[in-house]
């Protein structure tokens, strides 16, 4: 069975309780089920990880070279996660950066992602639906 890495960064483990007016009311477990449902017909299994530390995220990327692809919400590490960027630069599969909120409608310091230029795609501001769209895009890429 092929595995899809679903990697979430700092503070995303408390989704559903964390500023629901910005991040929505769905939990990370809800998002995991949403992605698993989206890729089920492809025979993919979702391997979900959430870490509050950058080093753990780097290790998760390095340990996932044999996955079919990845959906990554780096949280605030999109701004200054240089070691995560280096790990993703070497990740040999397609991956999509996802953010629940529209970072462009928020504070100016959130307006840049050091990771986005490496990603196969970037989705901002669609809430949990962004994860579903990322999963759908990766399935289609793999089929091509």
Catalytically active residues, by annotation: 23, 99
Q: In 1-144, which ranges are continuous DSSP H helix?
A: 20-23, 28-39, 54-62, 77-80, 82-90, 129-143
* Cα–Cα nearest to 22, from 90, 107, 84: 107
Distance of CA 120 to the CA centre of its chain: 12
Cβ(57)–Cβ(77) under 8 Å?
Answer: yes
Supply 62's token pair.
Answer: 């390095």
């Amino acid at each position: 069975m092929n595995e899809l890495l679903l990697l979430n960064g700092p503070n995303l483990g408390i989704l559903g309780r964390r500023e629901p007016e910005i991040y929505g009311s769905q939990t990370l477990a809800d998002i995991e089920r949403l992605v698993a449902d989206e890729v089920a017909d492809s025979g993919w299994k979702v391997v979900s990880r959430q870490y509050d530390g950058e080093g753990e995220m780097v290790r998760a990327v390095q340990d996932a070279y044999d996955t079919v692809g990845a959906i990554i919400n780096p949280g605030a590490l999109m701004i200054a996660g240089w070691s995560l960027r280096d790990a993703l630069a070497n990740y040999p599969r397609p991956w999509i950066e996802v953010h629940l909120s529209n970072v462009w409608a928020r504070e100016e310091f959130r307006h840049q992602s050091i990771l986005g230029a490496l990603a196969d795609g970037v989705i901002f501001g669609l809430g949990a639906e962004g994860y579903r769209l990322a999963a759908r895009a990766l399935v289609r890429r793999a089929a091509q």
